[in-house]
Every structure is written in C-alpha cells, then in structure tokens.
Structure 1
Amino acid sequence: MHLLCSHSLHRPDPPELSCVSMKSDRSIDHPPKLSGHSRKSRPEPSCVSMKSDRSMDHPPKLNGHTDLGLRPDPPELSCVSMKSDPSIDHPPKLSGDSDLGLRQNLPESSCVSKKSEQSVDALHNFSGHIWGQSDLGLSHDPAEPLKTFRSNLKKKFECLCEGTARQGNPTLLNEIYTELYITESESGEINNEHEVRQIETQSRRAATEDTPIKCSDIFRPLPGQDKAIRTVLTKGVAGIGKTVSVQKFILDWAEGKENQDIQLIFPLPFREINLMKDKTLSLLNVMHIFFPETNEMKPFNDEYKVLFIFDGLDECRLPLNFDSNETLQDVTKETSVDMLLMNLIVGNLLPSALIWITSRPAAADLVPSECIHRVTEVRGFNDPQKEEYFRKRISDQSLANRIISHLKPSRSLFIMCHILVFCSISATVLEKMMSEAESGEIPKTLTQMYTHFLIIQTNIKHEKGYEKNVKDEDMIPKLGNLAFKQLVKGNLIFYEEDLRECGIDETEASVYSGLCTQIFREELGLYHGKVFCFVHLSIQEHLAALYVLLSFLLDKKDVLNEKLSSKHAHEFTCHTISDLHQRAVDKALQSKNGHLDLFLRFLLGLSLESNQMLLKGLLTHIINISYKEEKTIEYIKTRIRMNRSPEKSINLFHCLKELGDQSLVSEVQKYLSSGGLSRARLSSTQWPAVVFVLLTSEQLDQFDLSKYISREQNQNHMTPDKLLLKLLPVIEASRSAEFYNCGVTDEGCAALSSALRSNSSQLRELNLSVNNAKDAGVKLISDALKDPHCKLEKLRLRDCGLTDEGCSALSSALRSNSSQLRELDLSVNEVGDSGVKLITDALKDPRCKLEILRLYKCGVTAEGFAALSSALRSNSSQLRELDLSVNTIEDAGVKLLSEALKDPHCKLEKLRLRYCGVTAEGCAALRSALRSKSSQLRELDLSGNNVGDAGVKLLSALKNNPRYKLETLE
C-alpha cells in the first residue's frame, strides 16, 4: 500500500499493466453543480475519487472521424489491485479532429503488478506482435464474441494486488474477498458530514434489524416485495468497499456463478466517461470504444439482457441536468455523452437494460429519486466480517487472533475497521509490529496507527534502494504541505502545478515510492499531464497535521494563520504549541461539516512525546519540545462545556483520548455505574462526557431511562424530561428506547419527536407505557411518524392517558406514506369505540403497515368490534395479531370477528379474547370460522371466559379437520 498515487495523463502506446483498487473509493466531498438543474445548491466539487483502475481494456485514441470498422484490441490480462487510481478533476478538452481508430495494444499477462517497471520495460520491447482476428478467437460462431467478452472481464477482475509489490504477489480476489454488509436504504439523500462521523453512526446501525442484501442479489426483490428493480443506487463512504462489490459482482458473473440471466455487463466508471465530456457519440460508438468485442455482436438486440455499471457518481464531471426534455431512444443516434447517460438512467434509451450506480453519500442525490428503484448502502464490515477479513489477510491464524484481540477493546480503532482501507492499514502495521517482537508500544490510537504506517511505507522505499537520493527529511514535509493546502481547499486530487507549488518535482514524487507510486494509465491518449492523490483521505489528513506541527516546530510558522490578513495576523500569533492547538480546535469547531475533525485528532496526537520519538527515526532534524499537554486538555474541556453540538463534543472527547486524558470519562463512569444520574449534580462539561461514554459503549442497542433515574425524586433532582433531553444523542443512536414508568410528559415527548425526525435516528422501538404522555404527547409522536426520516416500527403507549383525540392523530400518521409502524399497543387507555373506529379507518388504508394491534382493556364494545371486523375483511389490512382482552365483547362481538376470519382477505394469525364474556355460543361461531378454508388463525386465547364444557368440546372436535390450522388454544 502506498500513501500517494499518481495517475498518468499522457503516454505513448505501450501496454498498460492495470490494477483494480480495493483501496479507497473516495471522491468528492461535495458533488458538482449541475448546470441548469433546479436542485438545491451545494459547494463546487474539487476532489475526485481514487477509484480503482478497473474498467476497460485500452480505449482508442480519438482523432476526428468515427471509423468504427476497425479490429478490436486484444484482451487485457490485468490484476485487481488494492491501490487506488484517481480520476480527473476537470478533464482537458478533447481535440477537435480525433478519430475512433483503434490502436493495436500488446498482450499483457494476468496479475502483473503495475508497479513492476521491469515488466513494463519488457512489454515496451515486445513490439512486433500484432493481434489478428484469429488471436481474438473470433469466428462465425455468434456465441464466440460473448465468450471472449466474458473471458476478458474475468481476466480483468480475477486478481487482487494488495499493498506494494514487496509485500507479496497478486492474490485471487475470491481468496481474500470478505462479504460486505449491504442493506436496503431508505433514500439517496445527501450527507455532508465528515465520513468518519458517518462510520461511527454505521457502527451502531449494524446492530439494527435491517435486512442485509448479498451483493449478487441487488437486482432481486426481497421476500414480500413484488416490485421490478431496474435501477439501483449503491451509496457508501470512501474506502468502504463499493468498488470491490462491483468487482465481485462482475467476477461472479464472468465465472458463471451468479446472475446468469444477464448476457452482457458493461462497467463504465464515471472517471472514464469524464474524458468524453465534450464528444458527440452514439451509445453504440461508446460501446465499441470501451468494449471492442462488441464490434462482433449486436449488444442491444432484444435477445441480450444488459447491465450497465456506472461506478463513482461522485466523480462525475458531466452536466447531468435531468430537467432537460431531450429524449433519446436510438442507440445509433449521436448526442452528448451526458444526454446518453441521462436517457439510459431515466429509461428512454434501452428501457429493458439494468442500471447500477455507485456513489459516496455527498453525491447520492445527483440522480432524481424517481429514477431509482432501489437504494442500497454499503456499511462495510460488521464485527464478524472484520474478524473474517483479518483471518483471510493474515495467514498466521495465531497472529491474526492476537491482532483481533488487540483491536476489539479499542472502540475507536475497531469502529474504523468498518472501512476496508483502515482494515488494510491496521493489518499492515500490526502484522509487522506483533510478529517482529518489537519493543515499541503497539498502537492504541489513530495517530499511533497512522504514524507507524507512515514509517513502514518509508522503510519500504529504503529497501528498494532507489538511485535518486530523495531524503525523508525533505520529502515528507513537502508531501505534508501538499496534503494541508489541498485539504483546506477541499481537494483530494491535485496536478503537477500543485506539486510544483509545494516544491515537489513530479519525478521525485514518483520515485519516492514508499509514499507515492506512479501508476500510469493512458486515458484515450488525450492527457498532457498527471494527476495525483493520496490513497485515502485519512492519510492526507495525517500528513497535513504532521506538516502543520513541523512548520511550527522547525520554522516557527503558524500555517493555520496564513489566511488571516497581515493587519490582524499579529493579534493571533501562536507562541506555544498549546496556542497552536487552541487555534486548531477553534477552526475545527467552526467547520460546518467537520472536515477538520480527523486532522485535529492527528495534530494533537502527533504533539505527544511518544509520537515525537517515533518520528525521530523518520525525521532526524525534529527538535525536542517541552510540551505540557495539560493546557491543551483544559482548553478542550472548556470548549466541551461551551459547545452545544453533541457531534462536535464527541470529536473533542476523541481528541482527549489522543492526548491520553480519560479523566472526564472516568468521572462520569462512576455516576453511570451507581445509577441515579438525575440526582447527580453534573457540570456542563460532564454531561457531554456522559453522552460520549454511552455512545462509545460496547453495546448500544437498548436505552433504558429508568437506569439513570433515582426513585427518590425531590425538587433538587433533574426531572425525567430534562434528563431525557440531555441524553437525546444516545437515544437517537439506540435501536430501542425504554421509558416504562419514568414520569415522561408531553415535554419529553417533544424531545423524542425531535429525535425520531433526526436524519441520524436509529430508533426502531419506543416504549412510553405508564407515563403522563396524554393526547398532547401522542400528537407529537404521531407527527414524527409522518416524517420520512422516522424509522420507528414498534410503539407502546399502554396506560398513557390516551383518548380518541390521540387516536385521531395516530390514525392520520398510520395513513401517511412515510410511516413504518408495524406494532402499536394502546392497552389500558380509554380510547372507546370512537377511538377504535379511527384506528380501523387507518387499517383499511393501503399505506398502513400495521401488523400487530393491542387494545387490552380499552373500553371497546360491540360497536367497536363491528368496525374491527370490517377492517379485517379489507383487502388492504395487514393485521396479523390482535389483542382485545378485557373488553365487553361477549358473544355478539365474537360472531362479528368470526365472520371476518372466514373472509379470504383476513390475514389474522393470533387473536386474544381473555376475559371478554364469551360463552359456548361464541365458541360455536369461532368453530365455524376455524373450519373455513380462508382462516389463517394459528393462536387463540379464550382464557378467563365461561365457555364451559360445551365450548371446549366444540373447539376440541376440530382437531381432526383438515382445514384446522390452530397450533395454540388456551
């Protein structure tokens, strides 16, 4: 693995040794502005993803005319590498007189690393061979081009080169691939948070009851779904594994394992498509350029089921204006490439073709939601998959187990292992340190991990012994300067002029291969320079922090202050490292999307003496500093006390951990272990610490407010509503929230309503039973149920002082498009027949998803049962479980329900009628229903009723009836 990659933008014709990246797929933080599009504005993108080099065989040079009748290129045998290959930010204009003539490329051997210069030289010298049709295996057999196409894709994606050439030979992708956790997502909405924050959220979400989807099944409906899926958007943070999922999907197809109903797969990364930005082409032209084998077939005949894969929507530099009314339906008609794409995605062009788009969250809404039939999210590795990765990556299983045992207790490190890239960094560092009996401390913080990784990579450079004398002392600060300047601008890719601005010679950067690797690619022969980027944003942030620290230590220069005018700069001069830290803390807190959060953690961690000693082996001129971290620690605690944003406070606690300070955490853990937070007089600094401790706890599945409430309440204690508000970030992050008998009122319900509507809310279950919520509180909760961000599936409102007024609000919520509620408990409330009628109106609505309804002791009479019976017979009702115990149902009500059970639309499987005044007469009606072929009833509870022997005999006699489905009778 390398820290910086360079991307060739111009080369003559020698063959390319391609590598497909398993490393980061980290493109822009902010997607591009779309010209003419009425979408909400966002910052102009400036960074392009380091997507892996995993697309086409060498495309032809474009020269002006469109001669497509040329011989296709030979198959390229390449390897899938864990290196990243960046794309362009703004592609150069294509020259006006280009042709589509295909040049003759040379054969390449499978799994050859692009880093091997000897291999490149050997292929340079291999110039005499020209591929003919016989070499390509072309024949009059119409199936032969399909076989060739499939074979070429298999060769392109079958190998994986993880790390540097020194670290080992290419590995088969199938040998190391670990299934990623992919789920169906609610929407493709934008998320501009720092992606480390998103990872921390995902680490908690993995415990929820979302249904995972296998990568190979993304076009297949889930059980119970009958929708046709044509277009899939897969989103995920940088380095999480979107591109790897694409690679695995293609490889499984090419090997005949999965999705064999698809005849052709066309992977078209956006960074490749960017190069055609100014061209006018037909879809058929594009296919012939990218996939020469299609010259020998008719890829868009009805006999072929085709899949287009557009990887890296966040890299797109085309003006995707979906408001345009230009319709294209002819694959031979020439138009701009962006119009081709949009008509493909919308379905005007090739409506039967499948479309798969991948994107980082920041660009997920570039395609209108109405064009997307399924949104999936790659959440990376869940905890078992993390362990599986290390056991596959490290052959020594004893060592792998030791590494896992080291990572698991460190929540911040283990959470980061959700990202494939961080898993690889950790494996590289820990495998070396734990297998070589080194005396140094095993990394326990992010700063330590990345600093060791930097040292390991520079040592690789030294081992290779390059002839050019490039000193670490010179090169690392230069790369850090580059990293910092581009980080401030929001750029993740940069060009030769950016390198020159930082005093880096392009050849020097390429030679320094412990840190930067020159991965040359020919992009249609149209480039005139190179584009560089770091392997992952986190590596750029680490080097940027190192540069800021070195500038201060060695040059007494405060680069954080350079943007201030000289008139005011003297007012903000940093005299000590603590001053520098305070400025960095303030700048990070000012960032709206937290883009300096990780940079700040690295800067503080690198200032520690232990990390300074590590760096001395790398940078011999680094000076000793007498730094007392206490001043910085106190300043951070002050900012925690002043700050009202839970997310910002959480990052500041991570900063304290990097500085080795756990005092605040230790203080609040005493209160948490003793219970009674409500009677504790916690300071404004300690409350955020409580939230941090709870959010970073090993298990964050169920939140129970009663654990933190003292039963001996007095006027000096915090009220349950106030305590709930303090802990709201923890409630949002929990899957289940328990407030049974906690004294919550409508004030607390207002806070809960806010939490349920939060974009980051994970709440699936909420129990407000035996509280003073009343109708006012229930109305607030009902409003939240209508919000598209609300994921609540189970709501318990037993004994909450609810009346038919609250039922009206709930009925409205249940009929909303957004409500996900499947279980509702209204027991021990005076809802009466009028309230039940309101709920049954919702049950008849096709938008209502309610499956379980509990109305124990709700004052329901025969009038209410008539309404329920009508709802159960509705085609729209999804109700499978109904509890009507302790209501005045009597035999008349049972007869009404029995008639509903006979209806083919009734889906009821469980019915509880305890203490309802049922007699043998009611049993006779139930007997008739249970004999019906339509009845789905599996459980029936009649306990507490005076059915007598006659009633028992009537129901017992049914056991031999072939239509009898009852499994439990009480």
Structure 2
Amino acid sequence: DLIFIHQLKFSLKKKHQCVFEGIAKQGDSTLLNSIYTDLYITQGCSEQVNIEHEVRQIEVTSRHHESQEIPVECAKMFKAPEQDKEVRTVLTKGVAGIGKSVSVQKFVLDWAEGKENQDIRFIFPLPFREMNLMENEKQSLMHLITQFFPESKGLNLTRRNNFKVLFILDGLDECRLPLYFDGNETWSDVSLPAFLDVLLTNLIKGNLLPSALIWITTRPAAASKIPPDCTDQVTEIRGFNDAQKEEYFKKRFTDENQAKEIIDHVKQSKSLFIMCHIPVFCWISATVLRNILEEKRCNDVRNQSANTSKALQESNTEDTPKTLTQMYTHFLRFQIQQSRRKYYGEYTPGVSWEKKGVLSLGKLAFQQLEKNNLIFYKTDLESCGIDIYKASVYSGMCTQIFKEETGIIFGTMYCFVHLSIQEFIAALYAHVFLDINKKSVFFQDSAEQQKNEMIDLLKTAVDEALKSDNGHLDLFLRFLLGLSLQSNRRLLQGLFTQQDGIDQSKKEIVQYIKQKFEGNLSPERSINLFYCLNELNDQTLVKEIQTHLSKGSLSSGDLSPAQWSALAFVLLTSEEELEEFELQKFKKSDECLIRLSAVIRNSKRAL
C-alpha cells in the first residue's frame, strides 16, 4: 500500500501544484500555494430552494451576516462540529467561478504534500465533465479508478477495508448522467462491471465501499440531484469576503500602490465590489484595471506628464469601467488585442474584429445559455458550425475567453472561462446578429421576413428574462442592455455597422422597463431591472427615492409599485449593513411586506 500511496501522492502533487488562472493549459502557470487566498466557506445553507440567477444570489448573500454563520476551513471539510457525529458524505455548493474546483485542488495538494488529512490513505478526484464521456460503457469501480490513476493498478479495494479512501466528485452541475438513485439496481462488488450511473449512485449511497468518504461539489441548482439522506454535511462556498477580496488584489499585484489604487476603484462601484465575491471576477477586474493603468501611464510618459500617480481616479472618464458591461467589454478588447500581438505582431491601439468568429462562438454561447450548459462537447460545437480545428484556434487566440481541455483519459471538452463571459459573448452575439441579419436572435428560426430593430430585440429580451423561473437570463439582459449604449459600442468599433437610432432605443427601453414595475413582478425580478437601469446609466428612480429618504419625506401610502421597488433596491445596495430594519416606519400592508421582503430577509431583525 505504501508504494501505491507514494505514487498517487507524487502524481496528484504534479497535477495540482500549478494553477492556470482563467486559462486552460496555455500561458504561464503559477504555483497554487503562492497565490491561494482562503475562501469564505460556511456550514449548511439556506433551506429554501434558490431559484435566482447566480449573480443575484451573490448580490444577496454579500449582505449576510458572518456572525450568524458557522465558518468551515477547507482542510477540515470532513470534521464534524459535533465530535460524536461521523461525516461520510459532504455536499459543497457554490455559484459558477466561486472557487469550488480550486478548493478541491488545494485540499488534494495539501494531502499530497503531507500537510493535511493524513488519516486519509487514498484520494481519487473524479471530475464529472470527464466521466460524461464514459456514460455508455460498462466497467467496474476498480477499472474506473485505474483509468484515471494508472499508478493505482494492482491496488485492492474491498468492502472490508477499514482505512479511509476519499472520492471527490467535482462539478455535479456538469454531469450529463441521469443519476437514478431510486431506479438503479443495488451494486456492491467493486470488481464487477456496470454502467457508470449505477456505479456512482451506489458509491454515493455507500453500497460499493461503505467506508469510503465522498465529497461532491456543485452549483446550487443541481444540488437536488443528490437525495438529502445521502449527505451528512452540506457546506457552501461564498467566495471572498471583503477582507479576502483585498488580500487577493494584494497578492496579485506586488506593487502596493497599484494594488491600493485598483482596490479603491473597485470599491467605488457597488455592483463591481459585490461581484468581487467571485474570484474569477476579481481576476477579470485585475486584468482590465492593470491594462488600463499601464495604457494611461504609457500615455502620460509620452505626454511627459509630471505626475503619473492615481491614474484611475484622476482620469475618471468613461474609459474606466464602472458597470459590468464596461468591465467585460474592456476585457474582451484586451484579450483580442493580446492575441493579435501574439499571433500577428500587431501593436495597433484599435481592435481588428473577426465577425465570423464572434458569430460562431456567440451562437454557441447563446444556444448553450438557453440550455443552461457550461461544458460543451464536439457535437455541440458542430451544431454551431465550429469545426474542431477552429475550436483549437479560438482557444489558442482567446485563451482567457474560451478554453479547450483534454481529459485525463480521452475526449476533449470546451467551455467559456466563466458563465458570465458566456453570457456576455451571448449578448454580444445578439447585437452582431441583429446588425448583420436585421433579425432578433429570439426569432432567428422564424420564417417571417419582417425586419427587427434594436428596440424589438431589447423589449423581447426584457420579456423573456421576466418570464424565466430561475432568472437564468438576468445577467445576459444586463449585458444586452449595456451593449446598446453608444459609449460601449464605441469600444467595439468595427464590429457594428448600424449606429442609427441608438439614443432613441435607450429612451424607449428605459420607459419600457419602468412600465414593467407597474405589473405584478416578484421582488427579485424588480431588483434585477434596477441593475439593468444601472447598465443603461439611468438612476432617476433611485435618486428620487434617495432624496425622499434623506429628507425623511417618504410616505409609504403614496408610493407607486416602481417606487416600492426602488426603495428595496436602495436599501439592499446601501453601504450600511442592515443590522436592524425599521419596518414600522412604513405603513404595514400586504404590498409593503411583499415589496420589501428581500430587505427583511437580509436584515438581522425587523421591527
């Protein structure tokens, strides 16, 4: 056994010691231990099923009070707070990009380096994205292990083993297996072949190896695939708390002044600072703001400016991103510029756009977003007219947008670096498709020849997003609206030909959104519409409510539905923590309770 343990640790250390931040296997790698920042992980999670878009979940949980929660260290995931309780199966939830896979990587690396959890004899990480490719073949559990870990060949695991073995099933949300916990036959022989679905359900239930520990990671929406009686402990990765965000930027930038400048800028925009709970968004922000700083300083040197410090704050122009759409537009521009320099030696300030590439990748992003898929395979790409060679070219030219991953065993998988990048590319595709075809992506399969204008696209998107049960189009809608602004389209110069009627479309869609508040909207959908207005640079309703609040002249009896929603948005996005919400200030009515329910839920107590 000692030989197997040594070989497995050596192999896992080699595989897990480096991190490719934001990119697949191209570019420079960094030692995980040198940049790893602890994440805020809590025991248990909300009992109610959260059907909001994941970014909205982050915006809500950013206001939760840490004092009311039980924090969990990543290395102690299998240590129960109650000493007498044995933890065999842990289910860890977290939104896309929050750090689930990196937490797994750190846990495995610490074990392989002999630092933590040495009471566990073997750890076998089995990612769902790779196991999907084995769906139709029969194999034994031992054969599955040796396919992923050839060095374990000859190892004999049986039901009688009394030592600890940990199986890490990473990315349940990426699983395309049915996982029939009730319908699958009972399987208890580790050497007998069965379909993968049968092996996994029996492994999780404890039929195959009763003493084995199981750690499953997933995005929240897929967590219900695992029956509650199959898990002993549920944890939730919340990403970075405010102190950890700052620690991340300080580790990312060795120049202390540059780190402080970037932290200060991100803090100026509430929506950007909230998004920094997601480590991938911290990385996007760091990439964009560092590039902007470097560009500005180069310009200052050229202009022989005496004082080059505080470039971000002093410029304070529309060039410096203050909204999500601006941040992602800059990110895309920098990645395209970078790839042009790398492949063609181009050092032009502008960007050369390859519309065909944007359309192909965009179609993939849009179609898979509608299906709620983050991982794609060869057939998904082919259905969008992308051949496999082209996919390699895209992942080579845009390593930090689209990536290609070759599995340990066989098969190639593709994905966007983060769900939000997929949503941004999908929104960009909708605009480019309209520009070229004069047709909305929502009606692209329709036989009607009627031309669509931008306002038609925007109105349909608002309606579709409001129809969604789980808010899966919420962020796509924010990006789509943001990309309709002239200021953002200027950054994408060369990609669009039509510039007429942009200002008129903005006026019309702002009015259209404001009318929606008068309808029977849920508080969650209303709040997302305010984030949409923010992307459109329209704060009229919010400012109106803020003025009333500051003067103390708010009479709840006179509030329109739009003003109720604005009040909830203002209270939820204020700088102050909601220690105590004085509901008694407002006239108690059903409408008041419904409209302010999100505020009440996020306060320690309501009076």
What TM-score bracket applies, with the shorter chain setting the length?
A: 0.7 to 0.9
Q: Show the counterpart of 1:202.
A: 61
Residue 328 of structure 1 aligns to which amino acid in structure 2?
W
Q: Report the CA distance between 1:501 and its aligned residue.
A: 5.1
Is the 2:523–2:595 Cα contact (8 Å) retained in structure 1? no
Which string of whole-angstrom CA distances, capped at 9 and with x for unpartnered residues, describes residues 528-572 of structure 1? xx5433222211211221122223334422222335563xx75xx
Residue of structure 2 equivalent to 1:174: 33
2:517 partner SS: helix
Matched, 1:451 2:329: yes
**3-state secondary structure, aligned to 1:268:** strand
Q: Check if 1:234 corresponds to 2:110.
A: no
Q: Could you tell me which residue of structure 2 aligns to residue 345 of structure 1? A: 204
Q: CA separation of 1:208/1:689 partners in 2, compared to 1, >3 Å: closer, same or farther?
A: farther
Q: How far apart, CA to CA, are the structure 2 residues paired with 1:369 and 1:500?
A: 38
Residue aligning to 1:263: 121
What RMSD in Å do the two structures reach over aligned CA positions?
2.8
Amino acid at match of 1:269: P
Q: Which residue number corresponds to residue 334 of structure 1?
A: 193
How far apart, in 2, do the equivalents of 1:288 and 1:509 lie? 30
Residue 143 (structure 1) aligns with? 2
CA distance 1:684–1:476, change in 2 (3 Å): same
The answer to whether the Cα contact below 8 Å between 1:188 and 1:235 also exists between their aligned partners in 2 is no
Equivalent position amino acid for 2:397 in 1 = G
In the other structure, the counterpart of 1:839 is none
Distance in 1 separating the partners of 2:184 and 2:432: 55
1:487 aligns with 2:372: no
Cα deviations by residue, 1:155-194 (Å, 9 ceiling, x for unpaired): 1111112256999632110111111111111478754432
When residues 626 and 373 of structure 1 are mapped into structure 2, their CA distance, relative to the original with a 3 A threshold, is closer
Match of 1:511 in 2: 393
1:523-672 paired onto structure 2 within 5 Å: 524-525=409-410, 527=411, 531-562=413-444, 566=448, 570=450, 574-575=452-453, 577-616=454-493, 619=495, 621=497, 623=499, 626-628=502-504, 629-672=506-549
Determine if the alignment matches structure 1 residue 696 to structure 2 residue 579: no
User: Does the 8 Å contact 2:363/2:426 carry over to 1?
Assistant: yes
Q: Counterpart of 1:731?
A: 600
Q: 1:483 to 1:180 in 2, by over 3 A?
A: same
1:381 lines up with 2:263 in the alignment: no
Superposition deviation, residue 270 in structure 1: 1.8
Superposed displacement of residue 360, structure 1: 1.2
Does the CA-based 8 Å contact 1:676-1:708 persist in structure 2? no
**What whole-Å deviation, never above 9, does each CA across 1:870-920 have from its counterpart, x for those lacking one?**
xxxxxxxxxxxxxxxxxxxxxxxxxxxxxxxxxxxxxxxxxxxxxxxxxxx
Is contact 1:207–1:701 with CA below 8 Å preserved after alignment? no
Task: Report the Cα offset of residue 324 of structure 1.
Answer: 4.2
CA distance in 2, matches of 1:380, 1:473: 35
TM-score (norm 1): 0.56
CA apart distance, 1:313: 1.6
Q: Are the counterparts in 2 of residues 678 and 723 from structure 1 also a CA contact under 8 Å?
A: no
- The answer on whether the counterparts of 1:678 and 1:720 sit within 8 Å (CA) in structure 2 is no
Instruction: Number of aligned residue pairs: give it.
Output: 578
**1:663, distance to aligned residue in structure 2 (A):** 0.8
Match of 1:825 in 2: none
Query: How do residues 180-329 of structure 1 correspond to structure 2 at under 5 angstroms?
Result: 180-186=39-45, 191-222=50-81, 224=82, 226-300=84-158, 302=161, 304-324=163-183, 326-329=185-188
Q: Distance in 1 between matches of 2:483 and 2:202?
A: 51
For residues 366 and 343 of structure 2, the distance between their equivalents in structure 1, rounded to whole angstroms, comes to: 28
Check whether the contact 2:253–2:259 (CA below 8 A) recurs between aligned residues: yes
- The one-letter amino acid paired with 1:728 is S
Deviates more, 1:308-317 or 1:554-563: 554-563
Query: 1: CA distance between counterparts of 2:24 and 2:120?
Result: 36
Distance 1:723 1:678, change over 3 A: farther
Q: 1:286 to 1:484 in 2, by over 3 A?
A: closer
How far off its partner does 1:602 sit? 0.9
In 1: Cα distance, 2:280 partner to 2:131 partner: 25
Q: Give the residue type in structure 2 aligned to 1:558.
A: S
Residues in 1 aligned to 2:374 and 2:20: alpha-carbon distance in whole angstroms: 23
Q: Distance in 1 between matches of 2:221 and 2:122?
A: 30
Question: What fraction of aligned residue pairs are identical, expressed as a percent?
Answer: 53
Write the deviation string for residues 28-57 of structure 1: whole angstroms up to 9, x where unpaired: xxxxxxxxxxxxxxxxxxxxxxxxxxxxxx
Kept in 2, the 8 Å contact 1:313–1:357? The answer is: yes
8 A Cα contact 1:206 1:382, kept in partner? no
Is 1:686 aligned with 2:563?
yes
| SS at 2:63 equivalent | helix
Report the alpha carbon displacement of residue 351 of structure 1 after superposing the two structures with TM: 1.6
CA shift for structure 1 position 396: 1.6
Kindly indicate whether the alpha-carbon contact (under 8 Å) linking 1:643 and 1:649 is maintained by their aligned counterparts in 2.
Answer: no
Distance 1:146 1:330, change over 3 A: same
* Aligned-partner Cα distance in 1 for 2:575–2:554: 20
SS, match of residue 731 in structure 1: helix
Residues 167/399 of structure 1: CA separation in 2 closer, same or farther (3 Å cut)? farther
Query: 1:866-881 alignment to 2 at 5 Å?
Result: none
SS of equivalent residue, structure 2 residue 370: helix
The question of whether the paired residues in 2 share the 8 Å contact of 1:486 and 1:492 is answered with: yes
TM-score normalised to the size of structure 2?
A: 0.88
Indicate how the Cα distance of structure 1 residues 595 and 297 shifts in structure 2: closer, same or farther if over 3 A, else same.
closer
Structure 1 unaligned blocks of 5 or more: 1-141, 710-717, 740-970
Whole-Å separation in 2 of the counterparts to 1:273 and 1:595: 26
Partner of residue 390, structure 1: 249
The change in CA–CA distance for 1:393 and 1:695 in structure 2 (over 3 A counts) is same
Give deviations 1:835-862, integer Å, cap 9, x for gaps.
xxxxxxxxxxxxxxxxxxxxxxxxxxxx
Distance 2:25 2:262 in 1: 22
Q: 1:435 to 1:203 in 2, by over 3 A?
A: same
Structure with the higher fraction of residues in helix conformation: 2
Cα distance change, pair 719–361 in 1 and its aligned pair in 2 (3 A): closer
Task: Look up the SS of the partner of 2:340 in the other structure.
Answer: helix
Q: Is the 8 A contact 1:671 1:680 kept in 2?
A: no
Shift of residue 291, structure 1, vs aligned partner: 1.9
Q: Deviations over 1:113-167 (max 9, x none)?
A: xxxxxxxxxxxxxxxxxxxxxxxxxxxxx52332222121111111112256999
For 2:534, the aligned partner's letter is K
Tell me the residue number matched to 2:19.
160
User: Within 5 A, what are the aligned runs for 1:725-764?
Assistant: 725-737=594-606, 739=607
CA contact 1:235–1:376 (8 Å) conserved in 2: yes
Structure 1 residue 380 displacement after superposition: 0.9
Native 8 Å contact 1:189 1:364 kept in 2: no
Cα distance change of structure 1 residues 722 and 390 upon mapping to structure 2, 3 Å threshold: same
Report the CA distance between 1:343 and its aligned residue: 2.2
Question: 1: CA distance between counterparts of 2:112 and 2:460?
Answer: 54
Higher relative contact order (CA 8 A, sep 6+): 2
Q: Within 2, Cα distance between the matches of 1:504 and 1:349?
A: 41
1:448 to partner: Cα distance: 0.2
Letter of the aligned partner of 2:512 in structure 1?
Answer: Y
Residues 211 and 593 of structure 1, relative CA distance in 2, 3 Å threshold = same
